[in-house]
Structure 1
Amino acid sequence: MFVKKLFHFLVILWISTVVVSCDKPGMPYPDGIMGDGSIEALVLNEGLINTNAGAISVIYKDGGVVVDAFQDVNHRPMGDVAQSITLINGKYFVAMNNSKKIEIIDPVTFKSVGTILYTQAGYPRQVVPISSTEAVVSDLNRQLVRIRTVAPYGKPLEYISIPRWVEYLVVAENKVFGMTQGGLYVFDADNIKKDHARVIKEVYNEEYTKTCQLLVDKEGMIWGLMNQKRDGAVTGVTLKCVDPKREKVVKSYTLPFGDPNSQTPGEVIGYINYNRTDIDPTGTWIYFNVKTRSVEENEEGVKEQQSVYRMNVETGEFSHYYDLPEVRMMYGFAVSPEGDVYLCDCLDYTAQRGYVRHYLKDGTKISHKVGVYPSQVYFPGSQR
C-alpha cells in the first residue's frame, strides 16, 4: 500500500512540474480557421534538407499542437528548409532556403495566397519590408533580392549583388542594415546598390555569434551582440548600439566572464555555441544566453549550465533572468511578450520531430512536440 501511494504521489509531482502538450488531429477549428485568437505561438520547423519537410507548427493556448498547418490546409508540402517567417502587409512571408522561394500565407486560414519563385541561383534567408509594397530578402549567395509584398506577387523584381553574404537584416531610417563577418553593411532602402554600400566595421559577427539577430530598440537604435576577445580568448559578451542616422556606434556594454575554474554558483564563465538574442515588445530589454556555474553536475560530470541574461537598453545594466540547467545546445530561442522563455530542441538531430520547451516564470516547463528541426518561435501580434 505504501509503495502504491508513493507512486501516485510521484506521478502527481511530475505532472505539476513538467507538462507535455498533445497533437490536435487534423483541422481543429470550423471552416479551416486555425488563427482565431487562441494561438499561443507559431513554430517554424526547417525540416531535414531535401525532404520538403519545412513546416509551421501551431501551439494553442489550451496546449494542443497542429504539427504542419500548411500541409493540413493546402494538401501539399510548404517546401524545403523553412528559414524564417515574417508578417508583412497582413501576410506571412516564409523564406524557403533550399526551395529557392518565398511562400506567402494567410495568417488566419494558413492558405497559400502566393509563391515567389527564384529565377536564378539563391538561398533566401530573411525577409524585411522596405516600403508599403516591397521587401528585400537576405541571401547566402552574396545578394539581396527585391520582391513585391502586395498582389500580384510574381517573380523577384531584382537580384542585387553585394560584397558579402548577409543573413540578419533590419530596416531603420529608410536604410537596410545587414550583419556580416566584415562588419555591419548599410544600404539606402530606395537605392540598394553594391557600389553604394557602407560598412560599420566595429559591429560584426563571427562563427559563434552568426545566429544572433539584429535588434531595434524603442528609440529606433540598432543592437548587435558580439563576443569580446582578448589575446585570442573570449572574455565577455558585448552589445553594441548603432545610431542608424549617423551610421556609427554610440554605445557599447560588456558582460565580462569570471574565472572559468571558479566554483561559485551562478557566476558567468563563458559563451555558448551558438549565442541567441531577443528583445521584449517594449524594446527595452535585450535577452541572450551565456554559460554559468551550476550547483549540480550535468551528464558530463561538469558543473555548468546555460542561463538567460538580459540588458536594459537605457542603462546598459545586465541582470540574471533564468537558468536552463537541462539545455545543452538550443536551435532557436525566444522570449514571449509575457516574459516566458521558449527554446527549440532538435533532440539528437536525426530528423525526428523536435520539441519547443516553454519555461514559465513560476518554474514550470511545458514541452510541445512540433516538427522536424524547430528553429524559430513567433508570437502573433507581438512583432515590433
Structure 2
Amino acid sequence: MKKLKFPSLFLTGLCLSGSLLFSSCEKEPKSTPAPVAPTPPGAKGPYEHGVFVINEGNTLGAISYYNPSSKVVRKDIFQDENNRPVGQFLQSMAVHNEKAYLVAGGSKKLEIVDANTFKSIGVISGLEIPRYFITSGNKGYLTDYVTYSGNGQVNIIDLNTNTITKTITVGKLPELMAIVENKLYITNSADNFISVINLTTETAEAPITIGQGPSSLVVDANKKLWVLCGSSYGTDPGSLAQVDPVTGAVERNFPILARSASPQDLAINGQKNRLYFTLDNKIYSMGISDAALPATPLVDRGTKGFYGLGVDPQENIIYGAYAPDFSSEGKVIRYNPGGAAIDSFNVSVGPNGFVFK
C-alpha cells in the first residue's frame, strides 16, 4: 500500500523526461547471510544497531532486519519476537526514544515495540488508513488518508499515554512529513499543496502551493525543504522543488516531464547535502546546490524497478528495495556512494523503505 492503493497495483515502471538520459545496467553481487548471532554482552537487545526494512506484504506485513557488519538477515523480526504478525499492509516505521512505531494501514493501527528487542509494548487502534509517523518531543504525528476521495488528517498523539489528543484536517491523501522550526509540513499526494501545522498552537497555518501530487520531502543542511511531486498515474508534470519554510516561497523548481508514472522516494544523505530519488527503474542523485537535474542516473536497473529507497546516514550506502511481485520475497541491493553495487540480500514480501539505527 505504498502508493495510493494496495501494493499489487503499483508494480509499474517509471518513465524519464528527455533531459534525463539512460545509462547501462549494473550487476548486483549477492551476499550469503551469516547465522544469527547471540546478543552481545551489554547490548540493549539484538536490534540495537542495524537496518530495518519495511515490507508491506501481500496481506500481512513484516519488518526485516539486516546487520551490515555480520551480514545477518532476519526476515520477520516482529513475528520472531511476538509469535504473531505485525498486521496488514505494513506501511512505515519510525524510531524515537528506544521505541519503534509500526504503521499497519490494513489493520488500522500503530503498533509500538521496544526498538532494541522488538517486543510489543502497546497498540493505538481505531485509525482509518494510517500512513506515516513522525515525532517531536513527547508528541507523535500520524498521517491518515481517512478516505480515498476526501481530505485526510494528522493525528496528534501523546507518547506518554499513547492516546490521540487531537486531529487536524489536511489535504487529500496525506503522506510523508517533516519538521522545521516547530512547524510540521505535510505532503498531500492528491492535491497541489503542502499543509502546515504550528506545533506550539497545534493549529493549521496557510498551506504552501507546490506542484501537483507532493508525496515525499526532506530537510537539507540549510533547513530548506525539498519536495518531490508528481501524480501517481503520471498525468501531471512532476517536479523537484526547493522551498523556504520560513516564507513559504518555492525558491527553485526542477520540472520532470513526460513519463508513465511519478518520481518517488526522495531521500537525503547523512550530511544533508545530496538528494536521491527513483525514476524509470533508476536512482538519480544531485547536490542541493546543483543548478539542474542530473543528466544521467547514478544507478540503472534496466527493467527492474525500485519500490523503495534509503541512504545510510553514517556510511552514505544506498539501499534500493525491489519487489518483483507481491507473492514472493523481495530483495535489497546495496550501492556505494558512487552507484556501484556492493551486495544484495532477500527480505520479506513487498519491501518499500528503510530505517537506519
TM-score band (shorter)? 0.7 to 0.9
Percent identity, please: 24
Q: Which runs of 5+ in 2 are unaligned?
A: 1-26, 147-151
Query: What's the CA shift for 1:171?
Result: 1.4
Query: What's the CA shift for 1:273?
Result: 4.4
Which of the residues 58, 61, 65 maps onto 1:54? 61
Change (3 A) 1:59 1:174: same
1:364-379 mapped onto 2 (5 Å cutoff): 364-379=341-356
Matched, 1:254 2:234: no
One-letter amino acid of the structure 1 residue matched with residue 331 of structure 2: Y
Tell me which structure has the larger Cα radius of gyration: 1
Deviations, residues 208-230 of structure 1 (Å, cap 9, x unaligned):
xx5x42110112111112359xx
Question: Match of 2:325, SS?
Answer: coil
Deviations, residues 321-357 of structure 1 (Å, cap 9, x unaligned):
62223453321112233333322111123x2221112
Which of the residues 6, 24, 33 maps onto 1:22? 33
- Give the alignment's Cα RMSD to 1 decimal: 2.8
Structure-2 residue corresponding to 1:199? 207
Query: What's the CA shift for 1:146?
Result: 1.1
Structure-2 residue corresponding to 1:138? 143
Matched, 1:313 2:288: yes
Q: Distance in 2 between matches of 1:29 and 1:172?
A: 37
Structure-1 residue corresponding to 2:240? 239
Higher RCO (Cα < 8 Å, 6 or more apart): 2
Q: Distance in 2 between matches of 1:99 and 1:233?
A: 32
Q: Distance in 2 between matches of 1:185 and 1:253?
A: 18
Whether contact under 8 Å (2:274, 2:286) holds in the other structure is yes
Query: What's the CA shift for 1:284?
Result: 0.5
Structure-2 residue corresponding to 1:217? 220
Change (3 A) 1:162 1:185: closer
Matched, 1:173 2:181: yes
Q: Distance in 2 between matches of 1:377 and 1:183?
A: 26
Q: Which runs of 5+ in 1 are unaligned?
A: 1-15, 258-268, 292-305
Question: Match of 2:347, SS?
Answer: strand
Question: Higher mean Cα deviation, 282-291 or 369-378?
Answer: 282-291
Whether contact under 8 Å (1:240, 1:253) holds in the other structure is yes
Structure-2 residue corresponding to 1:285? 274
Deviations, residues 140-193 of structure 1 (Å, cap 9, x unaligned):
11121111223x32x322233335331111111211111222311112123334
**TM-score, normalising length: structure 2:** 0.78
Query: What's the CA shift for 1:311?
Result: 2.1
Whether contact under 8 Å (2:55, 2:351) holds in the other structure is yes
**TM-score, normalising length: structure 1:** 0.73
Aligned length: 315
Change (3 A) 1:254 1:159: closer
